[in-house]
Structure 1
Amino acid sequence: MKENTLFEVFLMRNRIDELIKEKGYMKKYVAQKVGITPNQLSNWLAGKSYPPLDKAYILADLLGVKVDDLYER
């Protein structure tokens, strides 16, 4: 069995864009409801940054999912 490197263990695929599209929301609307700028949301979607825990909970509630569902390994 192959051992995962530390990088591979922490590499998570972002599902936020997929979940936003499933709900039919506009990204500007999501950013406004979460209390962030559209640029911050774009950074999350691109994997350039991750939402802080408080914003992740707001986003998950808005999308009707658990925080764990925002990302997958």
Structure 2
Amino acid sequence: MKSRIGELIDAAGYKKKYIAKELDVSPTQLSNWISGRSYPTLEKAFKLATILGVKVDDLYE
């Protein structure tokens, strides 16, 4: 499953550092989600989707 998190963050105009802080995760952890090396918990995915104004399904292709 390919992550669209990075492109959605960029499209929303947020800095990745800001998103990591809002989700209470390290920038490295966020980077891993963006690259598909790991995935957020369901709770973090819902919070990320809310911040970005998208559905959780939109975070992945």
Q: Normalized against structure 2, the TM-score is what? A: 0.96
Which residue of the other structure, out of 32, 44, 48, is the alignment partner of 1:55? Answer: 44
Q: Unpaired runs of 5+ in structure 1?
A: 1-11
Seq. identity, % = 61
5+ residue gaps, structure 2, are none
The structure 2 residue matched to 1:69, chosen from 43, 58, 61, is 58
Alignment RMSD, CA only? 0.6
Higher RCO (CA < 8 A, seq sep 6+):
2
Measured in 1, the distance between the counterparts of 2:20 and 2:37 equals 16
